[in-house]
Structure 1
Amino acid sequence: MAVARDLLVLLRLRDFRRLLAVRLLSQSADGVYQVALAAYVVFSPERQASPAAIASAMAVLLLPYSLIGPFAGVFLDRWSRRQILLYGNLLRAVLAGLTALLIVAGLPDWLFYASALSVTAVNRFVLACLSAVLPRVVDEERLVTANSLSPTAGTLAATAGGGLAFMVRLAGGSSDAAVVLLGAALYLSAALAALRLARELLGPEPGRQRPGLRAAVSGTARELAAGLAHLAERRPASRALAAMGLMRFCYGALTVMVLMLCRYAWSGPGAGPGDASTSDGMALLGLAVTLSGAGFFAAAVLTPWAAGRLGPRRWIVACAAAAAVLEPALGLTFAPGPVLAAAFVLGAATQGAKIATDTVVQSTVDDAYRGRVFSLYDMLFNIAFVAAAGFAALILPPDGRSAALVGVVALVYAAVAVAMGRPHHGEGERRGGVSRETRRTPGDGTRE
């Protein structure tokens, strides 16, 4: 009820409503576009999807966040932010339309991936801009609430967009190109919604002295290096981040396995878009995504209580240990029911560990370095997922059934539990370290 009350207060602010509309339309388009890409790469009848193709798609979707993200602020302080929202969404609408044409024409894969990479690269600027301009439309008293609710609403919009894409493709038998065009239409709607905001409203302030572009980029690189050096001196934070990176790696490898199971083991090879077997595989993939999201939500509810009693480090141990036991018990069956149950369990374990890691980093890193450390955290989070996809591409058979991958992932989870279970010298454990309102970190709406 408190959340609903806070949201109603914010919605009385006209410019906040307009900015929120841009976010919701933009991130719902992201959800549609990403599901359309996944469906094209994995479920298109004319393509024999492989773990390598899935790894390439994940690299396209995630690497721009890792490589461009830390430097986005350099440009946000120079360009009109309203125009970034306008032209960024217009450009994504055009590029998504181009992606649809490439799908229809059946042109070489590198052109398709180049188009998709361009869309997600622009997305990094748009999401960073949406976060940067919140103080321009919300007063300081309500800023914390806005920072909590607005990105969460964006994440829900992205999830809803993905669900819409699944339903459109399954219910109407629509092609992947048609679903991509739906995403393009939503990007265009987000651009038009940005026009309702005054051009000068979102900044930056005119006439402000700024370093040159080259100096700003090199300065950002130096600051990231300083943040990395500071992190190396904070053992609790560096250990928690290493554990989180390994758990994210496990989650990524299992994601590729589930995609392959949905495409082949649970659909049947060579099935076309209108075949019941392929529709079943798509439906099971949608259910896996939903259950994993439910696991994230369960972790958000449970973690404040559990980490408050155990302490953040011991809660990470508990999450990793639970995953080490339950992942092979459920996953080695390679049957839909147990694997879908594993999707929920691993979603809860991964998100529970992430919330605890956020808290450890926030409480042990000096405030002057916190932003840079969280930028590095974003990079680690996404690079670990892409590396996991590459690992899965090397080890998975075409149908996705790999006892070796399940076993390796279980061993990694167990190693994380053992390593985090050993308190190092000077590393105390503070109970009650997780609040019910976790802070947002750089990375915005793509973070769980």
Structure 2
Amino acid sequence: MFAALAKKNYTLLWLGQVVSMIGDWFLVVALPFYIYQLTGSVLQTGIMYIVELLPRVLLGPVVGVFLDRWDKRKIMMITDLLRAVILLLMLLVRSADFVWIIYVVTILQAVMAQLFVPASMALIPMLVEKEQLIGANALSSFSESVTRLIGPPLGGAMLALLGLSGVVIADSVTYLFSACCIMLMAVQSTSKGQEAVVASGNALKRLWSELLEGLVAIKQSKVVVGIFVIMGIMMVGQGLMNVMLVPFIEQMLHADAMAFSWLLTAQGAGTLLGALLVSTLTKKVKPVILVSLGLISTGCTMLLLAFFPNLWLALGAIAIIGVLLAGCMVSIQTLLQISVDERYRGRVFSSFETIISLTMLVGLLASSGIGDRVGPAPLIAANGALAVIAALVSLWLLRSARFSEEATLSGAERVPVVE
């Protein structure tokens, strides 16, 4: 797993992401509680999640076309710099009357993320050797788990001690650090000089043509289609859960923001262990088993907590979810990377983000609309049921998937790794 760190460019990307993810976890804990305490409304809290998804839903496939045209490293560096500046607008929020500023910043941050995340996922196979790809993805999962352990408790404590302003400034600094790391990377651009096409009279026609090429690339891979369907089902449930998480903690667990941070930390601890094991497991266990185990454990845990809400039970169960979900998500990311030719990765990963966002939006809208009336328990149970359904679907759609490049769409030569 740690062999990928021998690659200088990957190490710089990894280091920047570790630091910025810690800052992101500060806000993940702080913002929902801040808005809920400021407004006392599930709907207002839900709006934050909804507006975050809108740019990803509306811009996803089109953004992918430009990601495949442009230098991914430059895109990532510029978006990190913009995120650092945009985030500071939240310092203007002083009362419920200014909560709209949080929504505006959330939208702008989501636009930047829609550029950064697919670019990062598409870039990783260019930074490591093919035999290191699973290990690199496992290391990313491991690192995210470490930041989940560190970030939430710090975020909860920072919100209590310094308020939202302290959290915002800290997160902004982490984006600047990430931008500096990316700036130091020396990655040869894989764009084909297609920028000139944009300036031509046929720009719209070419944009549409490239968009269709990306959709065809998705359709031609049974593995990619299967992953899109499975994640779509799962994300509807995740949308239901996101809005109701704070009410679940306050109304059913009778806890506060620190409990929220400890739940995230428990999941991080589990994912940390899972990430350490996943490189070994992928050599012995089929992807379909790793994916289905992660999904069914998530579903059963959510069903258990919906009917038997208990903080200690939640901490233990969510830690177990983290172990199995690490294998699930590393498997999904690796399968996507090896099943798509480098020329189409920007479009495929952007479409993947769009599917995730669109289906999560369905859950968020449903939860925001009825959450105040039905309460958290039924919606958390629905989340669990959908995860179980996704697990059953994965057993069918991913039954032939393997961790090898035989699934690659075009069979084109792999882009050389840049040290």
Task: Report the TM-score, using the length of structure 1 for normalisation.
Answer: 0.70
Q: In the superposition, relative to structure 1, how do residues 183 and 222 fare at CA in structure 2: closer, same or farther (>3 Å)?
A: same
> 1:26 touches 1:89 (CA, 8 Å); kept in 2?
no
2:371 corresponds to which residue? 396
> 2:141 touches 2:275 (CA, 8 Å); kept in 1?
no
1:275 corresponds to which residue? none
Q: What is the letter of the counterpart of residue 170 of structure 2?
A: L
Secondary structure at the aligned position of 1:243 is classed as helix
Q: What is the letter of the counterpart of residue 99 of structure 2?
A: D
Q: 2-side partners of 1:196 and 1:357: how far apart?
A: 29
Secondary structure at the aligned position of 2:110 is classed as helix
Q: 2-side partners of 1:251 and 1:48: how far apart?
A: 22
* Structure 1 residue corresponding to 2:265, chosen from 290, 296, 302: 290
Q: In the superposition, relative to structure 1, how do residues 69 and 320 fare at CA in structure 2: closer, same or farther (>3 Å)?
A: closer
Write the deviation string for residues 213-272 of structure 1: whole angstroms up to 9, x where unpaired.
3766764554443443454454454234312321233234234333212244445xxxxx
Q: In the superposition, relative to structure 1, how do residues 195 and 155 fare at CA in structure 2: closer, same or farther (>3 Å)?
A: closer
Q: In the superposition, relative to structure 1, how do residues 205 and 59 fare at CA in structure 2: closer, same or farther (>3 Å)?
A: same
Write the deviation string for residues 110-140 of structure 1: whole angstroms up to 9, x where unpaired.
333012221332344455666777899x797
> 2:29 touches 2:155 (CA, 8 Å); kept in 1?
yes
2:108 equivalent to 1:118: yes
User: Which structure 1 segments of 5+ residues have no match?
Assistant: 268-279, 440-448
Q: In the superposition, relative to structure 1, how do residues 211 and 166 fare at CA in structure 2: closer, same or farther (>3 Å)?
A: same
Write the deviation string for residues 269-306 of structure 1: whole angstroms up to 9, x where unpaired.
xxxxxxxxxxx511110111112223434444555666
Structure 1 window deviating more from structure 2 (299-308 vs 252-261): it is 299-308
* Structure 1 residue corresponding to 2:302, chosen from 319, 322, 327: 327
Q: How do 1:233-252 and structure 2 match up within 5 A?
A: 233-252=220-239
Q: Which structure shows the higher helix fraction?
A: 2
1:186 corresponds to which residue? 174
2:44 corresponds to which residue? 53
1:444 corresponds to which residue? none
Higher RCO, 1 vs 2 (CA within 8 Å, ≥6 residues apart): 2
2:162 equivalent to 1:174: yes
> 1:77 touches 1:204 (CA, 8 Å); kept in 2?
no
1:336 corresponds to which residue? 311
> 1:288 touches 1:340 (CA, 8 Å); kept in 2?
yes
Q: In the superposition, relative to structure 1, how do residues 221 and 255 fare at CA in structure 2: closer, same or farther (>3 Å)?
A: same
Q: 2-side partners of 1:107 and 1:62: how far apart?
A: 23
Q: How do 1:26-425 and structure 2 match up within 5 A?
A: 26-42=20-36, 44=37, 46-50=38-42, 52-70=43-61, 71=63, 74=66, 85=77, 88-101=79-92, 103-104=93-94, 106-127=96-117, 148=137, 151=140, 155=144, 159=148, 160-170=150-160, 173-190=161-178, 193=180, 197=184, 208=193, 210-213=195-198, 219-267=206-254, 280-301=255-276, 311-358=286-333, 361=336, 372-397=347-372, 400-402=375-377, 404-421=378-395, 423=396
User: Which structure 2 segments of 5+ residues have no match?
Assistant: 409-419
1:442 corresponds to which residue? none
Aligned residues: 401
Write the deviation string for residues 345-375 of structure 1: whole angstroms up to 9, x where unpaired.
4444544443444455566667775654343
Q: 2-side partners of 1:142 and 1:429: how far apart?
A: 20
Q: Please provide the CA RMSD for this pair.
A: 4.5
Q: 2-side partners of 1:304 and 1:18: how far apart?
A: 21
Q: In the superposition, relative to structure 1, how do residues 222 and 295 fare at CA in structure 2: closer, same or farther (>3 Å)?
A: farther
Q: In the superposition, relative to structure 1, how do residues 108 and 153 fare at CA in structure 2: closer, same or farther (>3 Å)?
A: same
Write the deviation string for residues 135-162 of structure 1: whole angstroms up to 9, x where unpaired.
99x7979995996588558746753444
